[in-house]
Amino acid sequence: MRVIVGVSDMKVSANPGDELVTYSLGSCIGIVIYDPVAKVGGILHYMLPESSLDPEKARKNPYMFADTGIPALFKASYALGAKKQRMKVAIAGGAQILDQQGFFNIGKRNHMAVKKMFFRNNVIANHEDVGGNVNRTVRLKIVSGDIHIKVGGEGEKKL
């Protein structure tokens, strides 16, 4: 079953029939995690780097921000039996879409937020497809752990 992960959303699954997918990763970041032993995976689609930008929104929806959404993603996967040391991790998005002059640099700031958080928590991304000025779609098949990234104008590739 295809499970859609919306903007400012997160889904985790241990159901082998599930395929998680998130669309339209522009300046947003999609983080995909998968434990091949537990066969547990998840996707987070966050919009902004820091919850301090709007603590009230962060309280209502922690998946909107890197610093609240990333811990929630990992904790939800642990609750289904995943272990951090076995995780395959992929990062996609962080493009410069609506900000061609780079004034706000939301995509770069979003990418730096995940890099800092991963560094502090000893998490290494196995793959990154970030930056540029293209939208991306990411899919994760729970049964196999296959991760596919579709890049605007380039087609889809399996990681």
| Residue 157 φ/ψ region, left for φ over 0, alpha for ψ in the -120 to 50 degree band, beta for the rest | beta
Q: Of 14, 137, 23, 115, which Cα lies nearest the Cα of 70?
A: 115
Point out the catalytic residue in the list 28, 31, 44, 91: 28
Known catalytic residue at 28 = yes
State which H helix or E strand residue 67 sits in.
helix 66-79
Q: How many other β-carbons are positioned within 10 Å of the β-carbon of residue 60? A: 10
Which residues carry out catalysis? 28
